[in-house]
């Protein structure tokens, strides 16, 4: 065990988490992580089944005397969001995550940590190998490609699981039990654009950075800045003040992350650099006032660069800049039933320029199917007004809360018994695999919980070390009492 993990308990959980952190496991690239899990099952002599897309089910018999207990399945996803700060030298296809221990927090060096959902997978593996836990019949479900659209869960077959209780280990807030989640839908817009050659002027790169970003569901209500939308505001303001050519616009990297950075290469007439700096500085000041303490790190930089050889035609440039500045991002409605819960939202996630086309990616969320569709129609209408073609994909269902179910009542009782407090019941404005898999297993009762993780899907992701032992105590205590 490395110095970073020294003296952390439970040792088996941390050992597996450290091993997973050394394995590159971006979405759709989980093969080595799958092999690790299958090797553990083989070492323990447990039955394992892989479905056609690569999800894994492992079965562990009940401890003698507990064969009549209600069967349960522990579930987590093998992939992680791969985000890094600009300037961080890290290849997510080959490099291990560099773990950093900072007081009571575990984080990574300039990248996402992968505690979402590496710590849940590690906990399941630790349960899988323990020999002194008086549990009933157990199944372990390790899914693939959760982060890019719940693909593994969506293609997981019905009829394979035998369990009655479904324990999702992808929770991120200690002291809570999640009993519901939002469904989601992706809305992608594309527009063919025309370029013309640039013959004169100065080249500049405008960059929006320093924002917190975060999860496009869990963090959507926190007032954080959207780098893509801010860049649109900068470009639209500049175009009203001076002749401006736009060579390329790019920003954001994940459909389920609030974009932290965005940039554009532009041309301006010679001698207008001071005007450029003045306008950009004024926009930066205005946006900082809008964001306040919600996202105080915003910066908009200017860098002199080689003049781009071609720029967008004026009509294309004006339409795209105006669209980015105007397309909605954020909360559309709050829940009337659960205080503080976002009901419907939309995330303006990615803009890219490539091969004569501008593509803009967004996602909408709501536990109510009609509200989710209404949000996507709203976004689509704005896109079509700017002459973009629109495509929808990746839809998945929500998970309806059932606060009176047996598993919820059992979890509440065990939590109070072992940890000394009644957990808060919450619903999550994010997609969990519970909704997707639950649709295929009617009657299966579900719950989601985990240790405390903050700023997931961003390089600021951190795992609260002191929350892991209580999470483990609750999980193992629950398994002994089912």
pLDDT of residue 193: 96
What's residue 394's pLDDT? 82
pLDDT digits (tens, 9 = 90+) for 51-82: 999 999 999 999 999 999 999 999 999 999 99
Q: Per-domain residue ranges for the chain?
A: 3-182+398-481, 185-396
Query: pLDDT tens digit string along 110-138?
Result: 999 999 999 999 999 999 999 999 999 99
- 3-state SS assignment for residue 189: strand
pLDDT number for residue 2: 57
- pLDDT band, very low/low/confident/very high, at 262 (cuts 50, 70, 90): very high
Rounded (10°) angle between helices 115-129 and 11-21: 130
User: For 271-298, what is each residue's pLDDT tens digit?
Assistant: 999 999 999 999 999 999 999 999 999 9
Q: What's the pLDDT tens digit per position in 349-400?
A: 999 999 899 999 999 999 888 999 999 999 999 999 999 999 999 888 888 8
**What's the confidence (pLDDT) of residue 286?**
97
Q: Which residue is associated with the tokens 């988490």?
A: 17
User: Rounded to an integer, what distance in angstroms lies between the CA atom of residue 264 and that of residue 235?
Assistant: 9
For 294-331, how does the pLDDT look when each residue is reduced to its tens digit (9 = 90+)?
A: 999 999 999 999 999 999 999 999 999 999 999 999 99
Given a cut of 90, whether residue 338 has pLDDT beyond it is: no
Catalytic residue among 18, 79, 83, 172: 79
**Predicted confidence (pLDDT) per residue in 179-220, tens digit:** 999 999 999 999 999 999 998 899 999 999 999 999 899 899
Q: Give the fold, CATH level 3, of 185-396.
A: Alpha-Beta Plaits (3.30.70)
Q: Which of 53, 23, 55 is nearest to 38 (CA)?
A: 55
* Alpha helices, H only, 336-396: 369-385
Alpha-carbon span 423 to 249, nearest angstrom: 46
Catalytic option among 18, 145, 146, 455: 146
Mean pLDDT of 419-424: 96
147 is catalytic: no
In the prediction, which pLDDT does 401 show? 85
> Would you say residue 5 has pLDDT above 90?
no
The whole-number pLDDT of residue 166 equals 98
| 168-193 per-residue burial string, b: 16 or more CB within 10 A, e: under 16 | bbbbbbbebbbbbbbbbbbbbbbbeb
3-182+398-481 folds as Aminopeptidase (3.40.630)
Q: Give the helix/strand (H/E) hosting 412.
A: helix 406-419
Angle at 238 between CA 233 and CA 243, to 5 degrees: 145
State which H helix or E strand residue 310 sits in: strand 310-312
Based on the residue annotation, tell me whether 417 is a catalytic residue of this protein.
Answer: no
Q: What is the mean pLDDT of the chain?
A: 95
| CA separation for the pair 360, 92 (Å, rounded) | 24
- Predicted local distance difference test score (pLDDT) of residue 1: 44
């Amino acid at each position: 065990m490395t110095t970073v993990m020294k003296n952390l308990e439970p040792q088996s959980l941390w050992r597996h988490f450290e091993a997973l952190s050394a394995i590159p496991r971006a979405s759709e690239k989980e093969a080595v992580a799958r092999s690790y899990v299958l090797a553990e099952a083989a070492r323990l002599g447990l039955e394992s089944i892989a479905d056609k897309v690569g999800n894994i089910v492992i079965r562990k018999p009940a401890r003698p005397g507990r064969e009549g207990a209600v069967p349960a399945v522990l579930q987590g996803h093998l992939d992680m969001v791969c985000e890094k700060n600009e300037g961080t030298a890290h290849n997510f296809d080959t490099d291990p995550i560099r773990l950093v221990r900072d007081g009571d927090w575990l984080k990574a060096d300039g990248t996402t940590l992968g505690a979402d959902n590496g710590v849940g997978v590690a906990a399941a593996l630790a349960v899988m190998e323990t020999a002194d836990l008086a549990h009933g019949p157990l199944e372990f479900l390790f899914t693939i490609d959760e982060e890019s659209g719940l693909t593994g869960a969506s293609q997981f077959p019905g009829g394979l699981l035998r369990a009655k209780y479904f324990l999702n280990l992808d929770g991120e807030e200690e002291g809570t039990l999640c009993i519901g989640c939002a469904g989601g839908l992706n809305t992608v817009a594309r527009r063919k654009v025309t370029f013309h050659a640039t013959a004169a002027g100065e080249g500049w790169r405008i960059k929006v950075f320093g924002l917190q970003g975060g999860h496009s569901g869990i963090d959507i209500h926190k007032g954080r800045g959207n780098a893509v939308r801010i860049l649109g505001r900068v470009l639209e303001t500049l175009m009203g003040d001076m002749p401006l050519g736009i060579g390329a616009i790019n920003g954001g990297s994940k459909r389920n992350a609030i974009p932290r950075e965005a940039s554009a290469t532009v041309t301006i007439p010679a001698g207008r650099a001071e005007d450029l700096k003045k306008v950009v500085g004024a926009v930066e000041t205005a946006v900082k006032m809008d964001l306040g303490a919600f996202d105080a790190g915003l910066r908009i930089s200017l860098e002199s660069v080689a003049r781009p050889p071609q720029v967008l035609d004026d009509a294309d440039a004006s339409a795209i800049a105006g669209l980015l500045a105007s397309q909605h991002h954020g909360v559309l409605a709050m829940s009337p039933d659960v205080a503080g819960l976002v009901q419907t939202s939309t995330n303006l996630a990615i803009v890219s320029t490539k091969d004569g086309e501008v593509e803009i990616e967004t996602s909408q969320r709501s536990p109510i199917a009609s509200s989710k569709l209404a949000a996507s129609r709203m976004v689509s209408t704005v896109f079509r007004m700017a002459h973009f073609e629109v495509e929808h994909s990746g839809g998945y269902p929500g998970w309806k809360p059932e606060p009176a179910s047996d598993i919820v009542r059992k979890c509440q009782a065990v939590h109070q018994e072992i940890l000394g407090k009644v957990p808060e019941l919450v619903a999550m404005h994010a997609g969990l695999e519970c909704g997707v898999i639950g649709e295929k297993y009617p009657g299966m009762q579900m719950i989601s919980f985990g240790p405390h993780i903050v700023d997931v899907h961003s390089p600021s992701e951190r795992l609260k070390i002191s929350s892991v032992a209580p999470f483990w105590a609750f999980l193992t205590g629950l398994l002994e009492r089912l």
